[in-house]
Structure 1
Amino acid sequence: MVKRMIIYVVICSFALLIGCSKEPTKQIETNTIGNPTAQEVLRMDSNANIFMYRETVYNAGVPWVDELKLTKDIQVTEINHQSNNGKDFNNGTANKLEIGTKIFRVKERNDVLIAETGNGDIRFYQLVEG
């Protein structure tokens, strides 16, 4: 009986301490299951430079990707639509790359593509869940 009373007091004290903390814990909830969509990427960063290839969004401006030593390989696609609305994204859609921009794979990695533009090559990293 005394043992139960001690356990009860310890549990109640612990619950009281948790419930009376100074600041509530803030949690960021994401409902993404699978790879991020263009709509999700643009909602988080309206200035992101993205395009879609093979149902996957690719994002430019990833510092460590820009520092990699990569060799441009064969052309895999071309931008054929431009939109700032993530709902409008399909394969070949970009928000900043011009229509007609050629996209190349690289020899060293499967998760990086290179866009060949008039202002130089831009590296894009594949956004996948993981």
Structure 2
Amino acid sequence: MSSTTRPRAYVEHVAIWVQDIQWHIRFFDQVLGMTLREVQGPLDSPSQYWTLGGMQFMAKPDFAEPEGRLGHIGIMCEDLEVAIAEAQSFGVTAMPQGRNWLRLPDGLAVELIQASPGSVAHALSINPRNFS
């Protein structure tokens, strides 16, 4: 990577394990207006549910850890190939889901996703805390 070119990316979704997926769907919809973006399985009993706004709920009714345990972080990359190549120098481990899935040395799972052209720059140009 050139010293003048820095990779750019943003968090697109955070995936959490939940025991009661319907409760989480209702809460994030009714309280925060985070509606359906994508679903895996039937709507009345999905195995996974993604919201507009970056949440992914993964149903695991027998999950014994605290509710909302982090499953992985999905990150949109301007250049997926550059990000994967750069990640290798940090001692990451490939995961079975694919070469864009990385396990960091501390155990965190990261899914790197190729963004459409210009979308990362656009997303990073938005300052949601700027009220002026």
After TM superposition, the score normalised by the length of structure 1 is 0.25
Structure of greater Rg: 1
Q: Which has the higher strand share?
A: 2
Higher relative contact order (CA 8 A, sep 6+): 2
